[in-house]
A and B are shown apart, each in its own frame.
Chain A
Amino acid sequence: MSDKHLIRETIARRAEQEIESGFYVNLGIGMPTLVANYLQKDKQVVLQSENGLLGIGPFPTEDELDPDLINAGKETVTAIQGAAFFDSAESFGMIRGGHIDIAILGGMEVSKNGDLANWMIPGKMIKGMGGAMDLIHGAKRIIVIMEHLSKNGKHKIVNKCALPLTGKGVVDRIITERAVLDVTDNGLKLVEILDGSTISEIQAATEPNLIIEETLLNQ
């Protein structure tokens, strides 16, 4: 699978399955935002945007365009019927207070114990962490979605993050175009293979030693 678009679609479709009907969901900027495009119609889901909107709707038509209505990625959006607007302190109270069921975020590196690095590359321009550091401590479940390997083929799922951390021990599950991995007390567990690879191929692309889900061993 080399096509960038296909990779992103595979990851977004798999990430969508993490969202249950009735959930309040925060989707990070970039690839996580795509997950909304694949939401099953029969699921009732409310999307939270940390700039002060509970109930993000689809992108607007030209007629609906409102400069005062954006998501956290600063894209123009609409609000669903029943949406609520509030200030930033309330928004992060909602997040920190554990009222958001799941946050799906992008990642640069994730370690075997669930440390996440996704906000800064030393030596490059520092853009800022935005709301990521608050989100990872507040949402009930943290899913990181990212490509399995870096552009130059290096491990992104590592024993110890080399990049500055966004948070320690915060990630519950990693979804890549190749696999789904859970952070457990005993280490990183391979729970699904998405691209037809063998277990040893996934292990080769992943730095930490993997615990293998039993159902995968039997295949």
Chain B
Amino acid sequence: MKQIHSSFQDAVKNIQDGSTLMVGGFGLVGIPENLLLALVETGVKDLTIISNNCGVDDWGLGLLLKNKQIKKMVGSYVGENKEFERQVLAGEIEIELIPQGTLAERIRAGGAGIPAFYTPAGVGTSIAESKEIKEFDGKEYLLETALTADYSLIRAIKGDKMGNLVYNKTARNFNPMIAAAGKITIAEVEELVEIGQIESDQIHTPGVYVQNIIVGHQEKRIERKTIKQI
């Protein structure tokens, strides 16, 4: 049914310089680790990346950043990354910061055929500059437009050969919306099962949104290990 890759290099080889990529994950949780490593190897550049965060200095999207493959970063929080700071201050990278809920909804809208929507987030702030403002029931809202991508790179804990996906705990985050908003969606799954082995009622992302699948072993680095003080 779907193209199932056996090599990560193969899975990302069609991604061209200047492409717009959406990448799933919140912090380092739910990121397509191996697809990102493969992108670093290809050296593809001038990428526009749409993702909530930009990794850390030595993992996730931070690796693409360090390798100067990102031209523009669109996200909501990019605080954990010294190299990012350096590139912004040196004018080497463009940055567009978006309220997190607006980012999630713009991606959702992109995959759901909604060109734009109104939201209260950002009214009265610098985010509202040059955006249409409209009043509904006495309250002001901003017009925000949908986001789509040439490629979406996501991660799920389990996928079947029809492309149906299941996520694990808070590793779901942006992945389902990003799956739908990419022209070509590549899903890195921890486990690939036969058709019918995921119960239909338990599927989080229906296979129609997924074009390519690959199985990857996840390192799952922890950004802030916090343990109960006993």
Chain A residues with CB under 8 Å of chain B are 49-53, 58-62, 65-70, 73-77, 79, 85-89, 91-93, 95-96, 115, 125-135, 137-138, 164-169
Contact = CB atoms under 8 A, between A and B. Distances in A.
A70 B222 CA distance: 9
A128 B97 contact: yes
Contacts of A125: 79, 85, 88-89
Contact of B127 (A51, A86, A133, A135): A133
A165 B85 CA distance: 22
A169 B139 CA distance: 12
Interface in B114-173: 119-127, 157, 167-173
Contacts of A68: 29-30, 157, 168-171, 220
A76 B27 CA distance: 11
Nearest to B75: A128
Contacts of A53: 169-170
Given A87-B173, A128-B79, A96 B119 contact: yes
B227 A167 contact: no
Contacts of B222: 65, 67, 76
B77 A70 contact: no
A88 B157 CA distance: 17
Contacts, number: 173
Contacts of B127: 129, 133
B175 to A, nearest CB: 7
B76 interface: yes
A51 B99 contact: no
Interface of B, secondary structure class, is loop
B188 interface: no
B73 to A, nearest CB: 10
Contacts of B123: 137, 167-168
B107 to A, nearest CB: 7
A74 B88 contact: no
Contacts of A50: 100-101
A62 B95 contact: no
Contacts of A58: 228
B191 interface: no
Contacts of A135: 101
A133 B122 contact: yes
B142 to A, nearest CB: 10
Interface string B98-109: 011111110110
A80 to B, nearest CB: 13
B187 interface: no
Contacts of A66: 169
A138 B224 CA distance: 28
A66 B107 CA distance: 27
A164 B226 contact: no
A115 B29 CA distance: 33
